[in-house]
Amino acid sequence: MTEAPPASLPYAPLPYSPAPELSGGPVRRWPVVIVGGGPVGLAAAIDCSLHGIPALLFDKDDRVSDGSRAICWAKRTLEIFDRLGVARPVVDRGITWKLGKVFHGDQLIYSFDLLPEEGHKHPAFVNLQQYYVESDLVERARQMPGVETRWQSRVVGLSEDGEGVVLEVESPDGGYSVAADWVIACDGARSPLRDMLGLDFVGKVFQDRFLIADVKMAAAFPTERRFWFDPPFHPGGSALLHRQADDVWRIDLQLGWDADPEEERQPEKVIPRLKAMLGEDAKFELEWVSVYTFQCRRLKRFRHGRVIFAGDSAHQVSPFGARGGNGGVQDVDNLIWKLALVIGGEAPDSLLDSYDEERILAADENILNSTRSTDFITPKGPGAQALRDAVLSLSAEHDFARRTVNSGRLSIPAKLTGCGLQTPDDASWAGGVAPGAPCPDAPIEDALARPAWLLDRLGGAFVLMAREEDLASGNVRDAFPGIRDLAVLGIAEAGEALRSDSGVTDVSGLLTERFALSPGSFYLIRPDQHVAARWRSFDPKKVRQALARAKGLDATHLREIA
């Protein structure tokens, strides 16, 4: 195992300079302080800037992550990265894939396609080492006004001051204090902030261990996810193979609970296991090795006063399914627009309680799927083992058995249907996108007939979307003069003239089909691209009520609108 990462990787020290507070100046109060400079914290900082919120980010290290760590970035996360301005380098450098194959022994029992339909800007998944993703996010954060990053800066204390939070920080040049209205804790699975608040996870730690090895080699394996149950090269266990950028391959091997983590990380233990899989004559280099334990746990609540937890500091899942890093990025996508409304005085701070409601729902969904995957991959007891093996044997011939096989249900965004910010349908809808669901993408053309994508027009603000003819007939664009954060998006069919410069054309018909956007239909879409409400006819009072509900305004306010 390499003791230091190769020089070709983005491990150059990140810039450090003494904090201005060390010069004796007054303690500055920041609207938002973010603790943790991984993908989740950096995404939060960038999004704060996009919403006009100054943000200070602390990280105890001065380098991006030491190892590939999270590698599978899901379509929904890529869509969020697009809004943040980092999707293009991630997709360009990463390995695009959508096909998965599952083996029992050396027999292929089935394969699956994660995105069989056309008409999406982003692929089902891109594999890219976390250090590259972090590097792209660091560079983007440097470009963002109002974002300050302080590396080699460890938060060692936290207290309330009546108006917010005071953080005590240690740096190479000494300690100092920083005040914040709000703190976002993105400081990882071993979160010091979680410990400072005396918080602990609820959930389960599974008695099994897995080896991760990132192997650099020239190999002819296809670009697909391969998972083996009881393979001949690793009998009695399971194995996973993924391709990454730079001819690096991720290999996961089940070790069992009795395996010694320190011993199993040593090259003399790792290399024979890999040669059994790849062939005795295979040429490869170990780039990074780790041993992990399956965990499916979360905090009971994610919001604790003015400290809000996101990513691994809030919840942990086993890695099969790519739900950890993706879930964390989706946490802050849910949080920052709400925080912006609260800071801007457009919503009460109780709106942030909806972060708890919605992201705990998502975390529980991830934990449920991860727990089921873990139970299938590592059956407990001879009865469970026999049942699992019988299902695998049947799945080679029978579709019903394949539906039971679980090698990791891969990350998809949570549907927030039924949560408090959404307005339930008041009419019968057949198809379309229900309140709480994320918007699907679709190809469009802008007013200058340039190719574009629907999601490029959504996100960052509330959007009222309808057919162009319906917006014009009801004078909808003139119905909300006092609502600053509501944009209006008109959709024209192919060949139909646009009635405004902000309208777009549904060139393929996929947008109309996916949203069931029949004449008279209206959608209200949240800043995080989830549907807040929809109607079969236009009623400005109902739109105002749905907008108020999506901002967390109370029942009195809703009655005043009515």
Distance CA 11, CA 32 (A): 27
**CA–CA gap between residue 519 and residue 45 (Å, rounded):** 40
β-partners of residue 240 are: 227, 252
What pTM did the predictor assign?
0.94
Q: What is the pLDDT of residues 278-309, one digit of tens each?
A: 999 999 999 999 998 888 899 999 999 999 99
Residue 558: per-residue pLDDT: 52
CA distances from 479 to 471, 482, 491, 539 (A): 10, 9, 18, 10
> Residue 309 contacts by C-beta under 8 Å, 6 or more apart in sequence?
184, 185, 191, 193, 194, 299, 302, 303
Burial of 162 (0-12, 13-18, 19+ CB in 10 A): exposed
- 214 vs 481, more confident: 214
Render 21-54 in DSSP notation, one character per residue: GGGTPPPPEEEEEEE--SHHHHHHHHHHHHTT--
What percentage of residues in the chain have a pLDDT greater than 70?
A: 95
Torsion angle of C-alpha atoms 392, 398, 401, 402, degrees rounded to 10: 80
Q: What is the Cα–Cα distance from 20 to 153, expressed in whole angstroms?
A: 13
Hey, what domains does the chain have and what are their CATH numbers? Answer: 20-92+127-202+297-373 (3.50.50.60), 443-561 (3.40.30.120)
Angle between helix 324-343 and 353-377 (nearest 10): 180
Residues whose CB falls within 8 Å of the CB of residue 86, separated by 6 or more in sequence, listed in order:
46, 133, 136, 137, 140
Long-range contacts of 362-366 (CB under 8 A, 24+ apart): 362/327, 362/330, 362/331, 362/334, 362/413, 362/414, 362/416, 363/298, 363/314, 363/315, 363/327, 364/298, 365/414, 366/315, 366/317, 366/321, 366/323, 366/327, 366/411
Question: Which pLDDT belongs to residue 4?
Answer: 42
Find out whether 461 and 485 touch, Cβ atoms under 8 Å.
Answer: yes
For range 211-232, the mean pLDDT? 94
Residue 504 is classified by DSSP as E
Nearest alpha carbon to residue 542 among 394, 453, 425 = 425
> What whole-number distance in Å separates Cα of residue 284 and Cα of residue 275?
9
pLDDT at 54: 98
Distance in angstroms (rounded) separating the CA atoms of residues 48 and 217: 40
Question: What does the H/E/C string look like for 231-268?
Answer: CCCCCCCEEEEEECHHHEEEEEEECCCCCCHHHHCCHH
| Antiparallel, parallel or unpaired: β 285-299 and 201-216 | antiparallel
Q: Which residues pair with 158 in a beta bridge?
A: 167
Short-list 372, 406, 348, CA closest to 549: 348
DSSP one-letter string for 80-127:
HHHHHT-HHHHHHHSEEE-EEEEEETTEEEEEEES--SS--SS-SEEE
User: For strand 99-104 and strand 147-150, is the pairing parallel, antiparallel, or unpaired?
Assistant: unpaired
Enter the DSSP assignment of 328.
Answer: H
Q: Please give the distance of CA 319 from its chain centroid, rounded to a whole number.
A: 14
Q: How many Å apart are CA 226 and CA 224, to the nearest integer?
A: 6
Residue 10 has pLDDT above 90, yes or no: no
pLDDT at 53 over 90: yes
Helix (H) or strand (E) holding 286: strand 285-299
What integer is the mean pLDDT of 196-202?
A: 95
pLDDT of residue 121: 96
pLDDT digits (tens, 9 = 90+) for 374-388: 889 888 888 989 999
Q: Please give the average per-residue pLDDT across 319-332, as a whole number.
A: 90
Separation CA 206–CA 271 (nearest Å): 26
pLDDT of residue 158 exceeding 60: yes
Over residues 401-442, the pLDDT tens digits come to: 888 898 888 888 999 999 999 999 987 788 999 999 999 999
Per-residue pLDDT at 2? 40
For residue 540, the surrounding DSSP H or E stretch is helix 540-550
What confidence score (pLDDT) does residue 3 get?
40
pLDDT digits (tens, 9 = 90+) for 112-128: 998 888 999 999 999 99
Strand order from edge to edge, sheet including 201-216: 107-113, 99-104, 225-229, 238-243, 248-254, 201-216, 285-299, 315-316
Rounded to 5 degrees, φ, ψ at 500 are -150, 160
The two tokens of residue 527 are 């800043």
Strand order in the sheet with 451-453: 451-453, 443-445, 504-506, 486-493, 462-467, 522-525, 531-535
Instruction: Report, as an integer, the average pLDDT of 83-112.
Output: 95
Question: For strand 522-525 and strand 462-467, is the pairing parallel, antiparallel, or unpaired?
Answer: antiparallel
Query: Per-residue pLDDT for 25 more than 80?
Result: no
pLDDT tens for each residue of 347-383: 999 999 999 999 999 999 999 988 888 889 888 888 9
Q: Give the whole-angstrom CA distance, residue 144 versus residue 402.
A: 47
Residues 478-534 have pLDDT tens digits of: 777 656 678 999 999 998 888 877 899 999 999 999 999 999 999 999 999 999 999
